[in-house]
């Protein structure tokens, strides 16, 4: 039998089984008590709500406020004793905001520790391995006073990236794969994306350097940054 015919046959079987089971499912649902039916609906709603929650990096969910991040011990970095150090994001600095301050519209945090010659950036631990770079970005959007985490980014090695790709696939299902052209020399780069309704995880492999970038992102980050730009421009105009 030709493979196409086999595929059609399997599809037909699946449809037939589905149609055959539908009356039974309807009868079974009608046999539930009102309390059982209500519990079933609540369970389905809870599952949908769980799917809609933002992704989290090792217990640090996207959307958490800066105060919550600082208040709860969620240090995911080495060495021990690392703490979050936050300042105006370089993205905001390009708009003219003063750097080295927490009084800004957008804040970037890194874990750091005290070294012999002062403060040094720590290494975030991703999948049990120290990352080369990391940053957690918080932004204050229109009508809100609290900073909220909208991006977590890492530079990791390719072995960790391979492990994460398998782990994410087991946890979230198959990714949406794509390619992006980095440069004429680097060529196209493999990109794997996992999404839900409110956030995404993007794993971009960098074969030339044997590294990868890992990015947790709330949906529509452009809206966040456009909001920041509007607020900054408005406040600058008022100050002048």
- For the chain, the average pLDDT equals 74
Question: Dihedral of CA 58/63/66/71: which sign?
Answer: negative
pTM of this prediction exceeds 0.85: no
Residue of 96, 95, 100, 142 lying closest to 119 (CA atoms) = 100
Q: Is the pLDDT of residue 218 over 80?
A: yes
Average pLDDT over residues 45-72: 80
Q: Which two tokens stand for residue 198?
A: 């409110």
Residues sharing a CB contact under 8 Å with residue 182, sequence separation 6 or more, in sequence order: 188, 189, 206
Distance CA 91, CA 73 (A): 27
Coil, helix or strand at residue 238:
helix
Distance CA 229, CA 235 (A): 10
Give the end-to-end CA distance of the chain in Å, rounded to a whole number.
78
- Taking residue 85's Cβ as centre, other Cβ atoms within 10 Å add up to 14
Distance CA 42, CA 38 (A): 6
Q: Is the pLDDT of residue 43 over 50?
A: yes
Distance CA 173, CA 195 (A): 10
Q: Which two tokens stand for residue 222?
A: 């452009």
Q: Is the pLDDT of residue 217 over 80?
A: yes
8 Å CB contact between 167 and 184: no
Q: Scan for tokens 């080495």, then name that residue.
A: 78
Distance CA 54, CA 52 (A): 6
| pLDDT for the residue numbered 93 | 55
Confidence category of residue 5, pLDDT binned at 50, 70, 90? very low
Q: For the segment 165-211, what is each residue's pLDDT rounded down to a tens digit?
A: 999 999 999 998 877 766 666 677 899 999 999 999 999 999 889 99
Average pLDDT over residues 16-31: 36
8 Å CB contact between 79 and 111: no
| pLDDT for the residue numbered 23 | 36
| pLDDT for the residue numbered 32 | 57
| pLDDT for the residue numbered 212 | 96
Lowest-confidence region among 20-34, 40-54, 57-71: 20-34
Residue of 202, 201, 213, 200 lying closest to 158 (CA atoms) = 213
Q: For the segment 131-167, what is each residue's pLDDT rounded down to a tens digit?
A: 999 999 998 776 667 889 999 999 999 999 999 999 9
Distance CA 104, CA 222 (A): 18
């Amino acid at each position: 039998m030709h493979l196409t015919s086999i595929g059609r046959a399997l599809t037909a079987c699946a449809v037939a089984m589905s149609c055959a089971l539908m009356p039974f499912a309807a009868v079974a649902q009608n046999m539930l008590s009102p309390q059982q039916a209500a519990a079933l609906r609540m369970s389905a709603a809870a599952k949908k709500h769980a799917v809609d929650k933002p992704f989290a990096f090792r217990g640090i969910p996207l959307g958490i406020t800066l105060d919550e991040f600082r208040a709860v011990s969620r240090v995911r970095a080495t060495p021990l004793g690392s703490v979050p150090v936050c300042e105006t994001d370089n993205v905001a600095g390009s708009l003219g905001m003063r750097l080295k301050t927490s009084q800004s519209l957008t804040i970037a945090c890194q874990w750091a520790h005290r070294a012999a010659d002062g403060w040094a950036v720590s290494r975030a631990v991703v999948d049990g391995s120290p990352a080369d770079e990391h940053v957690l970005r918080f932004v204050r959007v229109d009508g809100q006073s609290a900073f909220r985490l909208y991006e977590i980014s890492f530079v990791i090695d390719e072995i960790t990236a391979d492990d994460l790709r398998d782990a994410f696939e087991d946890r979230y299902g198959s990714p949406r794969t794509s390619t992006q052209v980095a440069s004429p020399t680097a060529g196209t780069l493999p990109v794997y994306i996992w999404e839900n309704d409110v956030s995404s995880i993007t794993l971009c492999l960098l074969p030339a350097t044997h590294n990868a970038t890992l990015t947790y992102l709330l949906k529509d980050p452009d809206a966040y940054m456009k909001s920041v730009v509007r607020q900054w421009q408005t406040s600058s105009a008022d100050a002048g």
